Amino acid sequence: MPIPTELILKQMELGPMANFLYFLGDKHVREIAIVDPAWDVGYLCAEAERNNYTVTMILLTHGHPDHVNGLNEILSRYDVPAYISGHEAPFLMPEHKNIIPVEDGHKIKIGTIEIKCLLTPGHTPGCQLFLYKNVLISGDTLFINGCGRCDLPGSDPRKMYHSLYNVLIKLPDDTMIYPGHHYGPTPWATLASQKKTNPYLTCANLEEFLHERMGV
């Protein structure tokens, strides 16, 4: 299934850690969310202006600095809400008046595009995915042929297992996964392909996953 024709989806690789940032929005009204503003706010603003997009919100997959280090600067340019999971660790929660904590399953509208937030703790307590039809922004929960580290402050490999095997893998096979970093062989992939080639989605049980992820 192709990318929905009404959806703006622009993937941009920025910064020294191969972060993927995204514009997600409504083609008809040219309104966008910027997902995980970091590294080069000047570039993001120039791209939005060049395409004649109106930035109406910020979406945050989680609170790690490489995903939010442009947040204050971008909010100084666009006075818009910035949505993050309310379950993010207090030490990773950005402080700004425009921050709006959201719950699992929360729906956010960009123009007529309704994005669903899916809570997937593991890499951090408040990692969330953004889903629209068959397009999934997977943040640092799932990379192409990889998954987020689970040995950082606030990480929990058991929760990551639950997030991957009881939430993410339950999505339709034709879901297109757009990750938070360019760590894999391709910038995106379908869930069907990841169920075959991603070592963190092909574990038989929790023990195998813990061995694969944590080496225990």
Residues that bind Fe ion (CB under 5 A): 64, 140
Beta bridge partners of 178: 137
Residue number with CB closer to Fe ion (63 or 111): 63
What DSSP letter does each residue of 153-172 carry, written as one string?
TT--HHHHHHIIIIIGGGS-
Residue number with CB closer to Fe ion (113 or 150): 150
d(C-alpha 139, C-alpha 70), whole Å: 16
Residue number with CB closer to Fe ion (40 or 140): 140
Place of tokens 């192409």: 144
In total, the chain counts a number of residues equal to: 216
Minimum gap (Å) between residue 57 Cβ and Fe ion = 21
Minimum gap (Å) between residue 62 Cβ and Fe ion = 6
Minimum gap (Å) between residue 47 Cβ and Fe ion = 23
d(C-alpha 166, C-alpha 179), whole Å: 18
Residue number with CB closer to Fe ion (56 or 182): 182
Q: Are 128 and 139 in contact (CB under 8 A)?
A: yes
Minimum gap (Å) between residue 28 Cβ and Fe ion = 33
